[in-house]
Amino acid sequence: MPNQYPLYVNGKMHTVQADPETSLLSVLREDLNLTGSKYGCGEGQCGACTVLLDGKPTRSCITPLGSILKQKITTIEGLEKEGRLHPMQEAFLAEDALQCGYCTAGMIVSAVGLLNHNAAPTEPEIVTAMQGNLCRCGTYRRIIKAVQRAAGVQRRAAR
Ligand code: FES
């Protein structure tokens, strides 16, 4: 039975009508036309659908709409501010940390989530935080460099 759900996405309030079991990913892509988050496995295993819920990386393909209670949702589309890319997006470009790009939105969102609670992650910490995000093109080394670059930029900006 469809219900109405208020959703706070990328700084804006939306109301969607859907069944409580509908995945957050479906609602983002189909109801709100936010197609940056990708459908990969649909089972919480690949990370292509990652969004931030209150700043924490979350697999939106396995997150039922009915389980989200007043949490702030941030998708890849919500990272740029006033026309400027997020430092993590800039770092992925600078380090050439993508090939086909299918995993990239989820990678960037997961990496932003990592820096939200660890401003200076070590390489093993980056690997651990990102290991649920799969890249079939094999750009992992460059992704690690991009996360390190963005962490440095953010630390310098915070001084
Ligand atoms: Fe959600 Fe793969 S599509 S983890």
What pLDDT is attached to residue 49? 98
Q: What is the chain's pLDDT, residue by residue, as a tens digit (159 residues)?
A: 789 999 999 999 999 999 999 999 999 999 999 999 999 999 999 999 999 999 999 999 999 999 998 899 999 999 999 999 999 999 999 999 999 999 999 999 999 999 999 999 999 999 999 999 999 999 999 999 999 999 999 999 998
CA 58 to ligand 1 center in whole angstroms = 10
Q: Whose C-alpha lies nearest to ligand 1, atom 4?
A: 44
CA 62 to ligand 1 center in whole angstroms = 8
What is the DSSP-derived secondary structure letter of residue 47? -
Of 24, 27, 43, 51, best ligand 1 pocket probe by most atoms within 8 Å of the beta carbon: 43
What pLDDT is attached to residue 2? 84
CA 39 to ligand 1 center in whole angstroms = 6
What does the alpha-carbon distance between residue 76 and residue 32 come to, in Å, rounded to a whole number? 13
- pTM for the model stands at 0.96
Q: What is the pLDDT of residues 22-66, one digit of tens each?
A: 999 999 999 999 999 999 999 999 999 999 999 999 999 999 999
What pLDDT is attached to residue 69? 83
| Token code pair at residue 60 | 């939106």
CB within 8 Å of 72: residues ≥ 6 apart: 8, 52, 53, 54, 55
Of 61, 75, 104, 136, best ligand 1 pocket probe by most atoms within 8 Å of the beta carbon: 61
What pLDDT is attached to residue 26? 98
**Pairing between β-strand 72-74 and β-strand 3-9 as defined by DSSP bridges:** parallel
CA 47 to ligand 1 center in whole angstroms = 5
Are the C-beta atoms of residues 99 and 139 closer than 8 Å to each other?
yes
